[in-house]
Amino acid sequence: MEDLKKRKLEEVGNGQLLPNLNESEASSTVEELRGLLDPLAKPQLVDLLARAGSQYPSIAEEIKSVASADPALRKLFVRGLAWNTSSETLCAAFQEHGEIEEGAVIYDKATGKSRGYGFVTYKDMESAQRALKAPSKMIDGRMAVCNLASEGLSSTSVTPDQAQRKLYIGGLSPETNSEMLLSFFSRHGEIEEGSVAYDKETNKSRGFGFVTYRTVEAAKKL
């Protein structure tokens, strides 16, 4: 009998599954685990789940399934779009990161013109995470930037650091477009976002634009 108990313990220690528990035993185990997990901080829980998922594929799939079930973790807010960018163009620009569930540019109800931003919702969270690794994307000659829609517009507010990295560029010729602007100023450092300002009514350049560098050091070179 003792040998049998020892063998079972060794099997569990070697990563084999525990024997099937009856309903009352399983319920008790779940409650015990909940009691142990409840006091833990979020970083500890994340670490535990990450390690469990790396060892057991079924747990990894369950984590992915639960994470992707929440649209808030799959939906991106995209700002800085050109006035002529369509929903189709927006989706085409982001589909390289994964399958898109839906995507649309937002239009003003009164004028029918683009409001310069839109939303892209992926079918799974992993695709959204891939897109967020490269948040800046050139679309129709303008550098658009994305973030999780659940973060809201607060993520676009100007921080002290961003204020030092963002430059106003005036005196632009009517022929200068956003791509030309970014190409010229990228020689001083990596650019996070930037574009020429266009008139909403005429879609013509207003003669100025903005460039935001990734570092303060690059911006100070000018």
Residue 103 sits in a domain of what CATH number?
A: 3.30.70.330
- The predicted pLDDT at position 73 comes to 85
* Measured distance CA(174)–CA(89) in Å, rounded: 25
- The predicted pLDDT at position 42 comes to 86
Tell me: do 174 and 197 sit in the same domain.
yes
Tell me: do 151 and 170 sit in the same domain.
no
- The predicted pLDDT at position 153 comes to 53
Q: The domain containing residue 211 runs over which residues?
A: 160-219
Hey, is 49 helix, strand or coil? helix
210: phi then psi, degrees, rounded to nearest 5:
-135, 145
User: Are the C-beta atoms of 130 and 146 separated by less than 8 Å?
Assistant: no
Residues recorded for the chain: 222
- The predicted pLDDT at position 9 comes to 38
Tokens of 218: 């690059």
- The predicted pLDDT at position 24 comes to 52
Tokens of 8: 């079972």
Residue 113 lies in a domain: yes
**pLDDT below 50 — which residues of the chain?**
1-19, 21, 154-158
- The predicted pLDDT at position 154 comes to 45
Closest CA to 148 of 78, 64, 66: 78
Residue at 64: amino acid letter = K
- The predicted pLDDT at position 160 comes to 55
Domain count along the chain: 2
Tell me: do 77 and 146 sit in the same domain.
yes
Tell me: do 75 and 123 sit in the same domain.
yes
Closest CA to 86 of 100, 101, 107: 107
Tokens of 38: 């409840």
Helix axes 57-69, 42-55, angle to 10 degrees: 130
Tell me the pTM: 0.56
Tell me: do 103 and 174 sit in the same domain.
no
Residue 85 lies in a domain: yes
